[in-house]
Structure 1
Amino acid sequence: MRLTAGSPARLGASWDGRGTNFALFSANAQKVELCLFDTQGRRELERVELPERTEDVWHGYLNDISPGQLYGYRVHGPYEPEHGHRFNANKLLLDPYAKRLAGRLVWSDAHFAYRTGSPREDLSFDRRDNARGMPKAVVVDETFNWGRREIRPNIPWEDTVIYEAHVKGLTQKRDDVPPNLRGTYGGLSSPAMIEHLKTLGVTTVELLPIHSFIDDRILVEKKLANYWGYNTLSFFAPEPRYAQDNALDSFRTTVARLHDAGIEVMLDVVYNHTAEGNHLGPTLCYRGIDNASYYWLNRENPRYYDDFTGCGSSVNLTHPRVLQMVMDSLRYWVEVCHVDGFRFDLATTLARGPNGYDRGSSFLTAIRQDPVLAAVKLVAEPWDLGLGGYQVGAFPSQWSEWNDRYRSAMRRYWSGEGSLIGDISSRMTASSDLFNHDGRRPRASINHITVHDGFTLADLFSYNEKHNEANGEDNRDGSSDNHSNNCGVEGPTDDPEILGLRRQLRKNVLACLMLAQGVPLILAGDEVGNSQSGNNNAYCQDNEVGWVGWDNLGKDGDDMVDFVAGLAEIRRRFSQLRSHRWLDGRPKDGASYGALWLTPAGDEMTESDWKFPEGRFLSYVMGPMEPGSAAIFIVLNAAPEEIAFKLPKMAEYKSWQQILNTTDARPNSVDLQPGSDSKAPPRSVLAFAGAL
């Protein structure tokens, strides 16, 4: 027989060499039809009712369906928004487990389950067929030749340096990448980009979302796009716009090449919401398959959604089948695509229960026990927009977290704000006040100054105000709390003094980023002074605003590639900067591993020194983790004037050798005697190595 019952064991379309098993979860559906399309996805060839239902999984096996077949679903059930049900079999729906997509969404009113413009809004019902404008799922053969030598880098957390990048934006304007590869997965792993990453000292590339996503209708109407990709349609399929042909194989080829170069690949993943938005959004997948299962519905009125994300709705991971989908997706990217880790957008939403964020939630518990995910890097963006959503420091020990407290403190300090040295001391030593509990390690703190969301590093010291007019929202979008400093002129200037100060401040924050304990994260393009012209929310700018500009590469002063590479070398040289242990005392007589905080006079700081009014000078010695290794003495001077200080007097060290001075391209390498006088230039970072 052509059609048999098949199996509910594996959701999605699974080809076994002879035919394909189709399985779809829906707890509240009354009937599920599989729709088969021609190779162009324009004509529906056949509808096949899935013959069996097992534990809310609808399934069937077709013995003549092979890889390349395009398909979708029509799901029958009640259309009762006031009870949380939004079934409409007139709408073709994407398989949540689709591994590859064909075609792109073409917006029309037919994608909405209700009659747009009706005074009854979503309580009305629309009978138009949307199939022609829908992307289709593709049956795939998951086999791939990784090569006998493909070895995952497995970079230890303490050695990790993360580089956050957008697949298209990273190479779209890079002249040394072949034109046909610019803006694609292939461009990411081109020889020029690999050489650039290796030179910087990057170990791990973190990619903005590559799960298939759509451009919001309102953006398309404004001739803009959802450039960043935080608008997921499919959690299994790589975004096809970054590939010339087969996105799945193109992405896996890129991963293999980066692995060959010793570089890990992390994905920024968005499981907290989908592209379907609020109750007035389109019906493309989850909403039409089983709205009441996939989303958090308002308990008092299930017509509406609980929105913890600011995107209209929130995915409900307390439902076992929804949790299964997310876990299956994560394992798929690790096992089939060889991804090395994940950064979870608005991770607090994923761990929510009926009473808010829950450290014992189903999601965090499932992650903790999963043997596949135990071997990869897990990073939380530890907040969302719901009540009690800010959870920095509250994730389990298996996790690392974006540390916005580090970002805020460093921005304020180098923008000229005083009385922050106590906060800065904590941020430079892995924020133990936030993370030193429950067996967590310094790697829990992912330190960053800039990321995709906000000013670039060049703009941080060129603009006091956001300039987001190009987004079409009258400059209302994006944060107004940036802790930035334009150094006297808003935007571009030819004033050499201002340009020099801006470069100096950029070097200072990069130095702090690489000298701080915890894990550094660098935003792509910051090393060459990339600017977004003051736009701090370039999510819809798929153009030269959002793409990395490489014009400063090789340009004196603005090209800081070699500077960052030197910082990475210092980080590798001093293991105490990459420590997996928390500081536990003072580095005296080799008795403990710790930090000695010093006044400019070289004395150990007292409580009154920490409270010095408007204090902007901080210096400290970090002792070695192992006897016989070198100590490092770090000096931070955010004051606008030169400050005299003394080199530390420590019995173990005969001299101090300067290895970093952010005001000097070639720091003085002569040996300086303990107790001798030196000077910290205005707004500078210095570092010295202790010689035994």
Structure 2
Amino acid sequence: MPFVSGVTLTATGATFVVRSSEATKLHLCLFDQTGRETDRLPMTRDEDDLHHLFVEGIAPGARYGYRAEGTYAPDDGLWFDPSKLLVDPYATELDRPFRYDPMLSKFGADTQHLVPRAIVTRDIDVTPAPPVFRPGGFIYEVAVRPFTMLHPDVPEAQRGTIAALAHPSVIAHLKRIGVDAIELMPITAWIDERHLPPLGLTNGWGYNPVAFMALDPRLAPGGMAELRDTVARLHAEGIGVILDLVFNHTGESDRFGPTLSMRGLDNRVALRHVPGQPCTLVNDTGTGNTVACDHPYVRQLIVDTLRHFVLKAGIDGFRFDLAPIIGRTATGFEARGETLKAMLEDEVLADRVMIAEPWDIGPGGYQLGNFPAPFLEWNDRVRDDVRCYWRGDHDKTGALASALAGSSDIFARGGATSTRSVNFLAAHDGFTLKDLVSYNGKHNEANGEDNRDGHNENHSWNNGVEGETDDPSIVARRRADLKALISTLFATRGTVMLTAGDEGGRSQRGNNNAYCQDNEITWVDWAALDEELIAHTAFVSGLRKRFGVFSQFSFFKGDGDVSWITPSGQPMAVSDWETPDFATLGMILQTDDAGTGRRLRLAVLINRAQSEQPFSLPADAAWCRIGGDENPKPEKQVRIPGRSVTFLLEN
């Protein structure tokens, strides 16, 4: 019977299996509950480079780690150092978080007191139901710890944890604004980047993983059971759960980084190196190393990780950070590569939602539109084009229409007839939505890098004052811009994503790279959220659910399903599309109305001018505004407020 990586429990003990192709010897280290090492046992190697050992009497709760003997020659890509306690790449639970210490990088320095021990678990499989979330819905991106650290209703001991996401007040908020799925930023065990501790900073986002399967104890003190219970409670409310996973690099970083797991077990296999230069790690991630996702062992680890979260917690889907690396081989990105194919074809994963962040900094790293269906893809073109349109940039009317219509210019390649776009205007990486309309430039001074980090071009505008202000006119202008941006996002065809707190005007004080600010800069201040903005988000989210035209995937055919009109009510001409400062646009859609069961026309009227603008609608019907007056009067000509999006139905 072939060995399976990780720990397999039996009635009498457990079999431990870990891979290393170049270690001369591996030892299994066992620990008691106090952290004292009780045994160091040699393992047997098979022909597949799997080191294995059966130990009688092992039961759930046992602590363990590995030590690897072999050549220590960093210039040759070999980092074997038996003084380093190594975490099992297949560990499913850890007894403590990782913490950075320079000793983790020093040859011969024992790290037993620094490295977490893996815990033997007997996880209970769930029978995964079909995903609650389906493409076309509303994804809500959540950084687990910042989301509830200041929530007034969540018990203090529970704040910042996965369990807090299931609190009734949190669920009530999610349901109020119509969330279809929460996308959890990384919840697997990570370590701080080594430059952060001297600055007194910590990584609060988790995009620096060490163990792909093990939940970080800071977020899930209850282990996998905490995640499983939270998912079940959210599912009961009709809310799916998507995990943001990082397979592109590990927290072991560059040559000067810590030896924690794969570097000390199988460095030349697990991490990509420059051909002919075994001492030089490929850095397609900007973090110091790049995982060799095309290696069969790493491919199996990735697939097994995804299966783990589906079978143990019922997860609906996954978002992949810097996803081109998952499809990259030594010759470049391969959309039909073996690893992406294995993820899509696995029987457990076949119906899960897969979302790619389709770029990295490696060669050929920008792959928007090139991932294989049914992958959804983060669409930064929509982000930038909509931002630039509302900022007032010239020649953006056509780009706005493309964004609203599902970006067929990107996703119709190869004859595809439907969009796979995830439309967003702000995400964890960059300005919050409020900061987008409050700052002309980034303000990352608190990160300790003299404001050199983070994107320099944010397509932002400050409405007259940089940063916070009490000026009522500027506050009102910013609120109007936020409403217009949110309305535009929810009027786009495909899947939409909003980052937690953006529905209420959350600010990060102009910091557009706040990964290292585990403090009030990133913590959602629930008491300070703008109720008017939250209500508006709930309104447009409700429209999206009521009118199916927005969440459909097929591209418009031009047979009357969509028409574009000028303020005079006439079809847009080429000259209108090419007018550099064209400030108003009308989109007339054929849609089913879940509220009435009718098939009718819906008008979306966009006015980015500062002043109110008249707009003539098709004269063959009277039109009623949606929202506002309880008994709206039918109109054929309407006046659209400045800096706004207005929705009307034919009467």
TM-score (norm 2): 0.96
User: Is 1:631 equivalent to 2:631 in the alignment?
Assistant: no
How far the C-alpha of 1:153 sits from its partner, in A, is 5.3
Out of 4, 23, 42, the position equivalent to 1:49 is 42
User: Is 1:456 equivalent to 2:456 in the alignment?
Assistant: no
Amino acid at match of 2:566: T
Partner of 2:176: 199
Amino acid at match of 1:631: R
How far the C-alpha of 1:83 sits from its partner, in A, is 2.3
Out of 521, 529, 538, the position equivalent to 2:497 is 521
Equivalents in 1 of 2:100, 2:133: separation in Å?
A: 43
The SS at the match of 2:8 is strand
User: Is 1:105 equivalent to 2:86 in the alignment?
Assistant: no
Out of 118, 124, 146, the position equivalent to 1:137 is 118
Partner of 1:241: 218
Q: Are the structure 2 counterparts of residues 246 and 613 from structure 1 closer, same or farther at C-alpha, using a change threshold of 3 Å?
A: closer
User: Is 1:412 equivalent to 2:405 in the alignment?
Assistant: no
Partner of 2:31: 37
CA contact (8 A) 1:8 1:58 kept: no
Equivalents in 1 of 2:97, 2:612: separation in Å?
A: 59
Amino acid at match of 2:609: A
CA contact (8 A) 1:201 1:565 kept: yes
Amino acid at match of 1:51: T
Equivalents in 1 of 2:263, 2:149: separation in Å?
A: 35
User: What are the superposed Cα offsets for residues 454-508 of structure 1, whole Å, 9 maximum, x if unpaired?
Assistant: 1111111111111111111111111110111110001111111111000000000
Partner of 1:185: 162
Equivalents in 2 of 1:495, 1:666: separation in Å?
A: 29
How far the C-alpha of 1:190 sits from its partner, in A, is 0.3
Equivalents in 2 of 1:284, 1:46: separation in Å?
A: 20
Q: Are the structure 2 counterparts of residues 578 and 103 from structure 1 closer, same or farther at C-alpha, using a change threshold of 3 Å?
A: closer
User: What are the superposed Cα offsets for residues 143-197 of structure 1, whole Å, 9 maximum, x if unpaired?
Assistant: 26x6x9x966523323x11000111111111102122221111111100000100
Partner of 1:598: 565
The SS at the match of 1:375 is coil
> What is the aligned-residue identity percentage?
40
User: What are the superposed Cα offsets for residues 273-321 of structure 1, whole Å, 9 maximum, x if unpaired?
Assistant: 0000011111110011010100101113110111100000100011100
Out of 672, 677, 681, the position equivalent to 2:637 is 677
CA contact (8 A) 2:322 2:359 kept: yes
Out of 121, 132, 135, the position equivalent to 1:157 is 135
User: Is 1:128 equivalent to 2:106 in the alignment?
Assistant: no
Aligned pairs for 1:294-443 within 5 A: 294-438=270-414, 440=416, 442-443=418-419
How far the C-alpha of 1:645 sits from its partner, in A, is 1.9
Partner of 1:120: none
Q: Which has the higher contact order (CA 8 A, sep 6+)?
A: 2
Amino acid at match of 2:637: D
User: Is 1:471 equivalent to 2:468 in the alignment?
Assistant: no
Q: Are the structure 2 counterparts of residues 605 and 180 from structure 1 closer, same or farther at C-alpha, using a change threshold of 3 Å?
A: same
User: Is 1:537 equivalent to 2:513 in the alignment?
Assistant: yes
Amino acid at match of 2:122: D
User: What are the superposed Cα offsets for residues 495-526 of structure 1, whole Å, 9 maximum, x if unpaired?
Assistant: 11111000000000100111111111011001
Partner of 1:89: 82
CA contact (8 A) 2:23 2:68 kept: yes
Partner of 1:506: 482
Equivalents in 1 of 2:102, 2:579: separation in Å?
A: 63
Q: Are the structure 2 counterparts of residues 439 and 257 from structure 1 closer, same or farther at C-alpha, using a change threshold of 3 Å?
A: farther
RMSD: 1.8
CA contact (8 A) 2:60 2:120 kept: yes
CA contact (8 A) 1:408 1:483 kept: yes
Partner of 1:25: 19
How far the C-alpha of 1:667 sits from its partner, in A, is 8.2
How far the C-alpha of 1:356 sits from its partner, in A, is 1.3
Equivalents in 1 of 2:117, 2:516: separation in Å?
A: 25
How far the C-alpha of 1:107 sits from its partner, in A, is 3.7
User: What are the superposed Cα offsets for residues 199-222 of structure 1, whole Å, 9 maximum, x if unpaired?
Assistant: 100010001100111122321221
Out of 63, 69, 73, the position equivalent to 1:76 is 69
Unaligned runs of 5+ in 1: 1-6, 116-125, 588-593
Amino acid at match of 2:632: S
Partner of 1:569: 542
* Aligned positions, number: 648
